[in-house]
Structure 1
Amino acid sequence: MKQKLNCILLIDDDEATNFLSNIIIEESGCALDIKTRQTAKAALKYITDSSQPGCKSGYFPYPELIFLDINMPAMDGWEFLEKYKEIKNNLPHIPIIIMLSTSINPDDKLKAMGLSEISDYYNKPITSEMIRQVVDKYFPAYV
């Protein structure tokens, strides 16, 4: 039997989007835990806290997969990535980061795919087909 992802982290400022994405991921059965953060700053804190030795793994499971929205207030997805670059060498492992957007600007996809931290780029919303594609591509030993 193949294993499930330990944790998927959703980073999106839209509560309804997070709610629906959570349902789709739960129905896919690909993850043991799904965490959501509505700000990039809260997501960075979560990633940092979950990487600490002695962290209660049930409370802060370290994400193996992150879905990151581009357009968020205060700190957007691009700014999140700049801060993430500063901490990534101190993390136990580097998660797969999928950038999500409703943007129709092709420059956003080009910019995202030019960054080593971004594994892939998809248009919102998260779908069951998208989840299957991501898991098949980046986690072939899973589910």
Structure 2
Amino acid sequence: MKKFKDLECILLVDDDAPTNFIHTKMIQKSGVDVAIKAVTSAQEALDYITHTGAYEHTPDKMMQPGIIFLDINMPGLSGWDFIEEYRKLDSRFKIHVIIIMLTTSLNPADEAHAKSIAEIACFLHKPLKPETVVELSQRFFEEL
């Protein structure tokens, strides 16, 4: 198992539970030693990051994500809406967080939009692969 500094948790944000399940398995298969939290809405992701809502009374048991894999098209708050709300967060919730847009969208405008947003490190197409998890971990974090 590979361990990386400041990468204790990966947060999956996708409204499709089967996709979260598959991506969880891919992260596990990657050999990166990391906890995985999967949520099905952008609002739940914001609550998790800020220890509010359903996560208000469990901050001592929660790890701050080092990587957030974010879907674009979700009911309620979209991935774009998540970014707007994320920008408003106190900086202590954003230290060492890498946001990866992970989507099925083939729309070039979505990719261009994602690349124009400073908070988004890269734009990738689903499904997530084990080697991609390793590559991103090595790219953005120091291996221990």
The TM-score with structure 1 as length reference comes to: 0.88
Distance 1:13 1:25 in 2: 18
Instruction: State the partner residue of 1:55.
Output: 59
Instruction: State the partner residue of 1:114.
Output: 116
Unpaired runs of at least 5, structure 1: none
The TM-score with structure 2 as length reference comes to: 0.87
Distance 2:72 2:9 in 1: 21
The CA RMSD over aligned residues, in Å, is 2.1
Instruction: State the partner residue of 1:32.
Output: 34
Unpaired runs of at least 5, structure 2: none
Given that residues 13 and 38 in structure 1 are in contact (C-alpha distance below 8 angstroms), is that contact kept between their aligned partners in structure 2?
A: yes
Instruction: State the partner residue of 1:16.
Output: 18
Given that residues 39 and 75 in structure 1 are in contact (C-alpha distance below 8 angstroms), is that contact kept between their aligned partners in structure 2?
A: yes
Give, in angstroms, the shift of residue 2 of structure 1.
Answer: 6.0
Given that residues 49 and 65 in structure 2 are in contact (C-alpha distance below 8 angstroms), is that contact kept between their aligned partners in structure 1?
A: yes
Letter in 2 for 1:14: D
Give, in angstroms, the shift of residue 31 of structure 1.
Answer: 3.3
Identity %: 40
Q: Secondary structure at the match of 1:9?
A: strand
Instruction: State the partner residue of 1:134.
Output: 136
Given that residues 88 and 94 in structure 1 are in contact (C-alpha distance below 8 angstroms), is that contact kept between their aligned partners in structure 2?
A: no
Give, in angstroms, the shift of residue 133 of structure 1.
Answer: 1.9
Distance 2:126 2:143 in 1: 24
Aligned length: 138
